[in-house]
Structure 1
């Protein structure tokens, strides 16, 4: 049976701010909705589940990111994930111009965790802390194959 990734979903503190960050990086809003009801309670496993959601897509049409902001039950604040913690680690994007992308991220108050690194002669990359503490890896390919 073939399998493919449908999307990566991330709970966020502020849906509008997070949409702004990712659309400024180049993703497009594919749709928005508010979900609740028995079907949602069953699928998610939370009674009274109610959330605002947005589906974003990458320009190549292959990647999708689902963002959701809980209305009920209340969202649970946690410490931002560290790169070495078990669990959901980061979302990664290839970019054409890392310096330009970092300027866009900075307008949202998002900066590299430490700096920009070069992985051999393959990638220039960095991790930034995005909205709601999301770790976002940005990588620019140095040599096109």
Structure 2
């Protein structure tokens, strides 16, 4: 049976601010919803599960990001993920212009963890601390010619 990645879901502190960050980087909002009820409790494993969510998509149509903000139960704040921690790590995007993307991120108060690096003369990239502490990798392919 083939398998297909549908989306990556991320719980966020402020849904609107996080949508603004990712749409400014070039993703589009496919839809929004508010979900709760017995089916949501069963699927997620939390009694009284109630979230506001938005589904975003990359311009090529291949990548989807589900962002959700808890209404109930209360969201649990955690320390921002470190690059060497086990578990969900980061979300990565290819961009046409890394400098432009970093300027957009900075307008949202989101900055590289350390700076811009070059990987084997193939990519210029940076890890950015995004909204709700999400690590976002932005990578620009270096073309010869």
Bin the TM-score by the shorter chain.
over 0.9
TM-score, normalised to structure 1, is 0.98
- Residue 52, structure 1, aligned to residue 70, structure 2: no
The list of structure 1 runs, each at least 4 consecutive aligned residues, that deviate by more than 4 angstroms after superposition, is: none
Give the structure 1 partner of residue 4 of structure 2: 4
- Residue 131, structure 1, aligned to residue 144, structure 2: no
CA shift at 1:134, angstroms?
0.1
Between the aligned partners of 1:116 and 1:80, the Cα distance in structure 2 is 20
**Count of residues in correspondence between the two structures:** 144
Give the structure 2 partner of residue 18 of structure 1: 18
Give the structure 2 partner of residue 63 of structure 1: 63
CA shift at 1:143, angstroms?
2.0
1:41-86 Cα offsets, whole Å, 9 max, x none, are 0111100000000000000000000000000000000000000000
Give the structure 2 partner of residue 36 of structure 1: 36
Give the structure 2 partner of residue 112 of structure 1: 112
Unmatched segments (≥5 aa) in structure 2: none
Between the aligned partners of 1:111 and 1:48, the Cα distance in structure 2 is 36
Between the aligned partners of 1:130 and 1:61, the Cα distance in structure 2 is 22
- SS at 1:124's partner residue? strand
What is the alpha-carbon root mean square deviation over aligned residues?
A: 0.7
Between the aligned partners of 1:121 and 1:77, the Cα distance in structure 2 is 38
Give the structure 2 partner of residue 87 of structure 1: 87
Between the aligned partners of 1:95 and 1:119, the Cα distance in structure 2 is 15
Between the aligned partners of 1:119 and 1:68, the Cα distance in structure 2 is 33
Between the aligned partners of 2:35 and 2:74, the Cα distance in structure 1 is 15
Between the aligned partners of 1:129 and 1:78, the Cα distance in structure 2 is 14
